[in-house]
Amino acid sequence: MGLLAAANLVGALAHAQNSPRVRFVTSDGEFVVELYPDKAPKTVENFLQYVRDKHYDGTIFHRVIESFMIQGGGFDAQYRQKPTRPPIAHEGREALARGGPLNVNGTIAMARTNDPNSATAQFFINVKDNDFLNPTPIPPGDPVPRFEYQGRVFENVPRANLLAAPQLFGYVAFGKVVSGLDVVSKIKSKPTGAGGPFPTDVPRTPVVIVSATELR
């Protein structure tokens, strides 16, 4: 092994050792997620604080779409929404600029409303590559000379307009499943239907997060 390759390997191992991990024990098995505070520090700290506060214990995966993602962390087994802290600022583009993960199979990301800065406690795990959820980088310039989005070309767009466009923010991926992906696959395959206030996509047999624990 060359010196450069050896150095890269040492760096990767050190990164892995320094990355916090969270073990989820569910009614369908266990999985572990590794988080990247060097890529999305605000998002990771927010998520870990909910873990430390035991917010996720007793919550369910209330939205499961086999060809998309599994979402949880907001409702208990009686479909009561749990109180949360104020929402956090979106840091998707910053995370990508730091080499953060994309919304691909096995990554964990924050759920939110149509307001990009509305993420609180709910999260989802991608069960396929969902490129359309990734934040859209804004090219340099003001105005931006040329910008392509969903097959359309825009020219000389004020930079502030692009930076503020809600559809360009995407969703902040901040870690990935490093063990127990088979459990995630088991959850995504659950038969779903109506449940509580939700008309669709709720597992007919509840999938409960028994505990979420930060690993030291």
Per-residue pLDDT of the chain (216 residues; tens, 9 = 90+): 554 554 444 444 444 558 999 999 999 999 999 999 999 999 999 999 999 999 999 999 999 999 999 999 999 999 999 999 999 999 999 999 999 999 999 999 999 999 999 999 999 999 999 999 999 999 999 999 999 988 899 999 999 999 999 999 999 999 999 999 999 999 999 999 999 999 999 999 999 999 999 997
Same domain assignment for residues 153 and 72: no
Same domain assignment for residues 179 and 77: yes
Do residues 68 and 125 lie in contact, with contact meaning Cβ atoms separated by under 8 Å? no
Q: How many domains does the chain have?
A: 2
Do residues 176 and 21 lie in contact, with contact meaning Cβ atoms separated by under 8 Å? no
pLDDT reported for residue 18: 81
Same domain assignment for residues 32 and 89: yes
Q: Which residues contact 85 (CB under 8 A, 6 or more apart)?
A: 46, 49, 50, 120, 121
CATH number at residue 54: 2.40.100.10
Same domain assignment for residues 94 and 70: yes
Do residues 108 and 33 lie in contact, with contact meaning Cβ atoms separated by under 8 Å? yes
pLDDT reported for residue 160: 95
* Residue 71 falls inside a structural domain: yes
Do residues 159 and 26 lie in contact, with contact meaning Cβ atoms separated by under 8 Å? no
* Residue 5 falls inside a structural domain: no
Same domain assignment for residues 162 and 69: no
* Residue-number span of the structural domain to which 55 is assigned: 20-133+171-215
Count of CB atoms within 10 A of residue 44's CB? 21
Same domain assignment for residues 68 and 164: no
Same domain assignment for residues 176 and 149: no
* Residue 11 falls inside a structural domain: no
* Residue 61 falls inside a structural domain: yes
Same domain assignment for residues 82 and 116: yes
Same domain assignment for residues 184 and 202: yes
Q: Give dist(CA 208, CA 202) in Å, integer.
A: 12
* Residue 6 falls inside a structural domain: no
Same domain assignment for residues 164 and 176: no
Do residues 122 and 70 lie in contact, with contact meaning Cβ atoms separated by under 8 Å? no
Same domain assignment for residues 116 and 157: no
* Residue 178 falls inside a structural domain: yes
Q: Which residues contact 96 (CB under 8 A, 6 or more apart)?
A: 102, 134, 135, 137
Same domain assignment for residues 150 and 188: no
* Residue 41 falls inside a structural domain: yes
Q: Which of 149, 167, 147 is nearest to 157 (CA)?
A: 147
